Structure 1
Amino acid sequence: MFSVFDMQTSQTTSNLTVEDVADYLTGKGALIEKDTHEYGAGLVFENKEWRDTYSVKYAGKEDIEQAYAELRTALK
């Protein structure tokens, strides 16, 4: 399962599937993956027009890299 942290509102949405996260980010227009070194662990996506950022973290038992790869694929 994934969680998404909206950095503008400080709200976290948890227990999301890959499809839920892809729908959430697409709805927010946040399709550009940012370098995560400045944000910490997880993935960070940005809405280029509004500069809104969303931190996505995986909390599951499967391979974390595989889970993030599935998310990236769902966003394409």
Structure 2
Amino acid sequence: MFSVFDMQTSQTTSNLTVEDVADYLTGKGALIEKDTHSDGGLVFENKEWLDKYLVKCEGSEEIEKAYGKLRTIMR
């Protein structure tokens, strides 16, 4: 499962599937992966508004595989 932290509003949305995260980020226009956050999550950005969203994988032993699947969907 994933959580998404909206860095502008400090709102967290939790218990999302990889497909839910992709839909959420697409809906926010956050299509650009910027970097890896110091806590190990991925940061996606809306290029026009510069809004950033921190995506973290929760409770998975195969975190890199989960992030890889998200990256594939977001392309």
TM range, normalised to the smaller chain? over 0.9
Question: How far apart are the structure 1 equivalents of 2:41 and 2:51?
Answer: 16
SS in structure 2 at match of 1:35: strand
- Which ranges in structure 2 are unaligned for 5 or more consecutive residues? none
What is residue 6 of structure 2 aligned with on the other side? 6
Shift of 1:46: 0.2
Instruction: Provide, for residues 16-53 of structure 1, a one-character-per-residue CA deviation record: whole Å limited to 9, x for no partner.
Output: 000000000000000100122xx312000000000000
Runs of 4+ with deviation above 4 angstroms: none
2:53 is aligned with what amino acid?
Y
Aligned residue pairs, count? 74
Q: CA RMSD in A?
A: 0.9
Match of 1:63 in 2: 62
Structure 1 stretches lacking a partner, 5+ long: none
Offset at residue 72 of structure 1 (A): 0.6
In 2, Cα distance between equivalents of 1:24 and 1:14: 11
Residue of structure 1 equivalent to 2:27: 27
